[in-house]
Structure formats: C-alpha cells, structure tokens
Amino acid sequence: MNYKRLFVKNGCIFITMVTNNRIPILINNIENIAQSYLDVSRIYSFELIAYSVQNDHLHCIIRPKEIREYPKIVKSFKYSVTKKVGLVNPTYSRIWQNRYWEHTLRDEEDLNRHIDYVHYNPVKHNLVKNVKDWKYSSFHKFVEQNLYDINWGTNEDIQKIIDLDFE
C-alpha cells in the first residue's frame, strides 16, 4: 500500500505510536523514552510541542525544522527506545507496531484540539480521574506557561474533544 504524506513547510505533525500487541511497557521505561527523545533531538532538529505517554502508546506533536524528516524522527525514536530497553539485535517492530498514525495539523484550531486530546488521553483511558494527576505528559509545562488552568479537563473543557479518536 502506498502512503501519501503531506509535507507542509513549518508544519506541525500529530503522531501516535503504539506498542506491538499493546504490550504495557512504556511507563516502566519512561527514562529510556526521555533519553531516546534527547538522543534523537541531537540528530534531527525539531520542537516537541506536546506529548503524553501511556502504558502501551504515546501521542506527541512535533514541529520539525525540515518537515520531510519527521518519518526519520519517528523511526529513530522507535529504534532508540527498543535498543535502550535492551533487546538483542533490536528491531523496532518487536516493541512497536510497524506503522504509526500521523496527521498534519492544518491550522491553529486543529493544533489546539490535538494538544487538548494529547493531554486528556490518560483520563480517556481511565489511568487517572484528572488530567493534572498524570505526570507523563507536557500538561504541567502548559500550566506553568499559563496556557491551561491546573484543573483543566472538566466536562465543559472536553466537549470539543470528547468524540475525537486519534488512535
């Protein structure tokens, strides 16, 4: 199957990566994930706008300096995490599903909806009752920047994203 990717200069990309067979290993390897992000950011120039790591998948929004490099960023990240987890002869398909979901964000409204979705995702998956209680996301960085109230995620806040499913 041929995939067509949209490469918009200076664009942002929403990405979902899921573990193979949804094995719940990501939170137990959160340090490896953080280190892999740092390693990949030394090779490729990109801004990590928002992220949320769950047990079996993660969501992130990135803005690559060179938009055509985002598939390489994803591949390098998956490979790095796999290698750090300690598998012999690592291939990222042993930990990760071969593919990933990506969506080129069209405008500021689309970006904001996806940021909300990223931060609300742990509540959606019943990992916590409140967005503020999940420590494996960029939510608290957004609170520090006064982009969210610490109690964001009430029924009123999520009406715009409750029916979205980006997994």
Enumerate the active-site residues. Answer: 136
DSSP-based three-state secondary structure for 111: helix
Q: Measured between alpha carbons, how far is 86 from 68 in angstroms, rounded to an integer?
A: 29
DSSP string covering 80-91: HHHHHHT-SS--
Where would I find the beta strands (DSSP E) of the chain?
A: 13-18, 46-53, 57-64, 101-104
Token pair 């990933």 is at which residue? 100
DSSP-based three-state secondary structure for 140: helix
The residues near 129 (Cβ < 8 Å, ≥ 6 apart) are 123
CB atoms under 10 Å from CB of 90, counted, come to: 17
